[in-house]
Every structure is written in structure tokens, then in C-alpha cells.
A = this chain, B = another copy of it.
Amino acid sequence: MINDEFYMSLAIKKAWEFQILTYPNPAVGCAVLDAGGRLLSVATHKKAGFLHAEPSAILLALCQKCEAFLSNFLREYHAALGVKFENAAELENADLEPNFTYEYILQNHGDMLKGAKAYVTLEPCAHRGKTPPCAELLRQLKFAEVVIARGDENAVASGGAHILQSGGVAVKFDVLRQQADDLVEPFLAWQRGNFSFFKLALSANGVAVGTAQSKIISNLASRTHSHRLRSAAELLVIGGATVRADRPRLDTRLIEGGKNPNVMIYSRECEFDASILLFGVAGRSVRVTSDINEAFAPRLTMFEGGENALKTLDERVKWLLLYRSSELLDAPAVRLNLKLKPLFHGELDGDVYGWYKFERDLG
């Protein structure tokens, strides 16, 4: 069925591709249909400080509607900010400066989205932070309806629906609400204190890095994705045994401009071979501690490790990110009993990855 749920699911899937990477902002997706019901764009917020999901989708929608709008925007963006994109595809993948783009849309939309419909996974923001308010933009462009998967309880950003309704925009709530709740769970958690997840990379038959002959299990796309997550995290936690056995670098060399996260080595013994690569990475602090509580002091913590780390994992670690390659290996797989609730599955160049919630009470 091509209905509200169909379009919202496009927005939700798109947002999941940037889950965690938007820290400290929530992952948000948006789809825009014109007044005739033609799908124009599906976009997502990609990185804090850059364009939100709604103006991203609106920009792409205007470019889809009108070639002249696209070529003018590319030229003006280049002139104003010195960054050149060749086409709409490059625009779609770019982290766009929010203020210029927002104003450009406001000045040049030419009522092309009058009567349009937007699907947003989270209530559009009402406040002027690093970026101007999304609800205001939707109102000024005269959208007919905005479908919202869940309201925003964030006291600072909320009120978007009110702005829309007071401007005559119809608002519908709670389409795919449960899925939108899952999507926003990390954001709610790090706002209250801390969100922690565990990253595990396995072969198709469950063999972990370090167990197989090769140290590499995942493909380049999966490893690049995990480097993006490291760059977003405030702290990377790893067990002392893994550090000694794998001698990892734990950096973000696969991405441009990545931040190498601070590392906490969870260990009772403080002596480590200083030539282990992670100690030589610039711009980070490494702390060895046997107090697991320190892992939960920052707002976003990423855990890495294998079977033993998983077996003794603190229950404050809420989600598992599982990468799976397309290869079976002749080596022992990880062994433990663990039930998971699947939240999202995606593909990375043939590898599969999944976000799961730990279901510790079951089994």
C-alpha cells in the first residue's frame, strides 16, 4: 500500500543510515511530496551543525522540481561558500551549511512546494539553534500537511507542530510511532545522561575479528562506517585482554577529518606495551581503569570487543551494532547466549549490519 506509512518508512530508513552520527542531535529523516502527490525527495540530517532533515529534503525537492533552481543554487552556493557541487547527487551526499541554504530556500522557493506534504520522523524544531527553525520553513513554504511520526519532548526544540498549525498547515501525529521511538532512543538517552552501544564484527558464520587468521572481517564500507561512529563517540571502551591480544589502533583513518576518540581500557592491570598502536594516535587521551562507571560519564560511549566483553557487558550498554560479512570462515565463532530485538538492518556494499536492542530479561 502506498500510504502515509509507506512514505514515513522511507524517511525512517533514511534516518537510520545516520544513526548515532548526528550526535548530539537526533537522527531524523524527511520525505517531501508535491501537491500532486509526487515523491520529490527523501533526506536525512547527517551531522550536527549542518542542515537538518527538513530543509535538506526541501532543497532536494526544489531541485527535483526545477532544473533552473538546482543550477542557480549550485552556482550561488559556490559563490557564497567556495564549495562546488556538480549535480543533485553530489548535493544529496554533502554536509550543507545550514544558514545560507535555509535563506536561499526562503528567497527562491517560488511557491513550488505550496500544497506539498512532508513526512518527518520527529516533530520539526521550533527554535533557532545552530540552524533556523524547520517548522517555520515548512510554514512559510505553505506546505499543506506535515505528517510526524513522534512529537519532540525536548523542551528547547518543541513547539513545531504549534507553529505549523497556527500557519494553517495540517499536522498528523504518530504514523509509525513505535519505529520512530526506537530511532530516537539514543538521543533521549544521551540527553538524560549517557547512551552506550557495543560494536561487534562477525563473519557470516559468527567468527569475530582476532579469532580468524586475518584481523579483518568486515569490508571497507563497514569499517568506514565504524570509523564514523568512533569519530562521533565521546569515548571508546575496550577490554585490556583485547588490547593485548589484538594490539588495535582504534583510530578513524578511513574517514576524512575524523576525530580519534578518547579510549578507556577496562583492566585491572595497568601495564601495557607502549608500542600498541592505539597509544600512538595523536589527539586522544588513553586511560586505564578498573572502574566501569567511568565508561558512562560521557554522553555517548562506544564499546568494542568480542565474546568475553559481551559476556560480562554492563547492563547500561543498551544496543548492539552487528556487522556481518559475506564470508564463512573455518574458525570458532563467538559463543554465548544472548537475545536481541532487531531495530534496523542495512547493507554496506554486501556486508549486512544490524542495530539491536539487548533483551537481557529473556531466555
Contacts and interface: CB of A to CB of B under 8 A. Distances in A.
A41 B339 CA distance: 36
Interface residues of A, number: 47
Interface in A13-46: 33, 36-42
A331 interface: yes
A41 B2 contact: yes
A333 B334 CA distance: 8
Given A40-B2, A205-B334, A326 B350 contact: no
Contact of A36 (B38, B324, B327, B335): B38
A36 B39 contact: no
Given A89-B1, A205-B335, A345 B347 contact: yes
Nearest to A91: B1
A253 B342 CA distance: 27
Contacts of A92: 1
Interface string A344-363: 01010010101010000001
A11 to B, nearest CB: 13
Contact of A356 (B33, B41, B326, B336): B326
Interface in A321-345: 322, 324, 326-342, 345
A88 interface: yes
A207 interface: yes
Contacts of A42: 2
Q: Which residue, of A88, A204, A363, has the highest number of chain B Cβ atoms within 10 A? A: A204
A42 B119 CA distance: 20
Nearest to A35: B36
A149 interface: no
B39 A2 contact: yes
Contacts of A203: 206
Given A38-B36, A347-B342, A350-B342, A332 B330 contact: no
A2 B92 CA distance: 11
Contacts of A340: 204, 326-328
Contacts of A330: 335-337
Interface in A178-209: 202-207
A69 B306 CA distance: 57
A224 interface: no
A329 B337 contact: yes
Interface in A263-299: none
Nearest to A203: B206
A104 to B, nearest CB: 20
A64 interface: yes
A334 B327 CA distance: 12
A287 B202 CA distance: 39
Given A2-B41, A328-B334, A331-B335, 19 more contacts: A2-B39, A2-B42, A38-B39, A39-B39, A204-B322, A205-B333, A206-B206, A326-B339, A326-B341, A328-B336, A328-B337, A328-B338, A330-B336, A332-B332, A333-B333, A333-B335, A342-B347, A345-B345, A352-B352
21 contacts: A2-B40, A37-B39, A202-B205, A203-B206, A205-B336, A206-B206, A206-B207, A206-B333, A310-B328, A324-B324, A326-B356, A328-B334, A328-B340, A329-B335, A329-B337, A331-B335, A333-B335, A342-B350, A345-B345, A352-B352, A352-B354
Interface of A: 1-2, 33, 36-42, 64, 88-89, 92, 202-207, 310, 322, 324, 326-342, 345, 347, 350, 352, 354, 356, 363
